[in-house]
A = this chain, B = another copy of it.
Amino acid sequence: MSSSIKIAVDGMGGDRGPRVAVEGAVLAANQWDYEIVLVGKEDVLKRELSKHRVVAGRISVVNANEVVEMSEAPVQALKKKKHSSISVAMALARERKVDAFVSAGNTGAMVASATLQLGLIEGVKRAGIAITYPTVHGISLLMDVGANINASADHLQQYAVMADVYSKYVLGKKRPTIGLLNIGEEESKGTEVMKEAYKLLRDSNLNFIGNIEGRDFFTGRADCIICDGFVGNIVLKMCESILETVVNLFQREMMANPVSKIGALLCKPAMQNIRRTTNYEEAGGAPLLGVDGHVIISHGASSARAISSAIKAAGQTVENSINEHIISAISDLNTNHKPSEWKPLPNESRIAKEAS
């Protein structure tokens, strides 16, 4: 089944450009049975590809002459550059010539292009970006991290539904706990939007555990933490910088005297393990949920390994028919039916096993 999955990869996106995007595509193609379509400047991509060996027939190139730069204003850039790698690849996704699209490019342009070209899933009011991150008790999911900075209560409710679906069918969690990121645990806390969202979630059939405070972010108390894109984006970027800061502090302190210098040396492998478990780049890209297609946004600073993880995540969302589950869950929500119980899909048990 997965042999037919086609994934477009933005060959030009990301801070590190085509070299890293191509390397990531090659890594993925040599590991998993996906057909990868690299989209971007054909000559550049073919030159990069020629440096690698890859399983025959797994990577092809589709030309796109323009590039949306990382710092460009998204909507204007898309209007001006009709033949950008993002627009061309998104068109392939719209025409169902590929099953998914992965890019480490301009996030705003990805969100705008996906929303305009693919449209939203029926019943979905706003798309949102979900990211997975490591906690003391395994992987949690945060949504939205920047697609929608003015989320209303029903947007937040729908984010919870989509996060629930993703946690079940890609992360393999049976009945994910859902928390609302707020400034206190009581129902009465927070802005009017948060109070209204609390009520909607409390009355839903999700496994809603109430408001989650900042201090529960890393405890894994909630499998899915729901917030608007403004708060989510600030929090996400804080997380990304935390490990670096703590490692800096450690190095400064450890190097201050000879005894702890030796100690630091002995701790090095343990340190590296921590770096690995808290490495956001390796987490595999963030799905843009709610659009009528499978779109994975990778960190701008993605390494080749991060790109390949994102490609894997894209394959998993396709294999597990995420959007069909979202359609059904959103429709249940809108018709006020009790959501259908969680049932493993054919691929689910495998993915769940891999994720654990």
Instruction: Identify A273's interface contact among B214, B240, B253, CB under 8 A.
Output: B253
Instruction: Tell which of A6-14, A19-27, A229-237, A327-335 binds the partner.
Output: A229-237
Please count how many residues in chain A sit with their CB below 8 Å of the partner chain's CB atoms: 60
A251 nearest in chain B by CB position:
B270
The residues of B that contact A214 with a CB separation of less than 8 Å are 233-241
A191: interface (CB < 8 Å): yes
A265: interface (CB < 8 Å): yes
The answer to whether A230 touches B262, judged by C-beta atoms less than 8 angstroms apart, is: no
The answer to whether A217 touches B230, judged by C-beta atoms less than 8 angstroms apart, is: no
For this chain, the copies found in one complex come to 2
Instruction: Tell which of A93-101, A170-178, A242-250, A311-319 binds the partner.
Output: A242-250
The answer to whether B73 touches A190, judged by C-beta atoms less than 8 angstroms apart, is: no
Of residues 178 through 219 on chain A, the ones whose CB sits less than 8 Å from some CB of chain B are: 181-183, 186, 188, 190-191, 213-219
The answer to whether A217 touches B191, judged by C-beta atoms less than 8 angstroms apart, is: no
A95 to chain B: closest CB distance in Å? 32
A264: interface (CB < 8 Å): yes
A9–B298 Cα distance when bound, in Å, is: 51
The answer to whether B231 touches A213, judged by C-beta atoms less than 8 angstroms apart, is: no
Known contacts A250-B274, A266-B266: A217-B190 contact under CB 8 Å: no
A135–B245 Cα distance when bound, in Å, is: 8
A56: interface (CB < 8 Å): no
The residues of B that contact A245 with a CB separation of less than 8 Å are 135-136, 218-219
The residues of B that contact A239 with a CB separation of less than 8 Å are 214
A262–B188 Cα distance when bound, in Å, is: 49
Sample of 17 further A-B pairs with CB below 8 A, known A213-B237, A214-B237, A263-B270:
A149-B191, A191-B230, A214-B238, A214-B239, A214-B240, A217-B238, A218-B241, A218-B242, A243-B246, A249-B277, A249-B278, A250-B270, A253-B273, A253-B274, A254-B267, A259-B266, A259-B269
22 contacts between A and B (CB under 8 A): A135-B245, A191-B230, A213-B234, A214-B236, A214-B238, A214-B240, A215-B237, A216-B241, A231-B234, A235-B235, A238-B238, A246-B246, A246-B274, A249-B274, A250-B274, A254-B267, A256-B270, A259-B266, A259-B269, A260-B266, A263-B264, A267-B267
| Chain A residues with a Cβ under 8 A of chain B | 71, 73, 135-136, 146, 149-150, 181-183, 186, 188, 190-191, 213-219, 229-231, 233-243, 245-246, 248-250, 253-254, 256-257, 259-260, 262-271, 273-274, 277-278
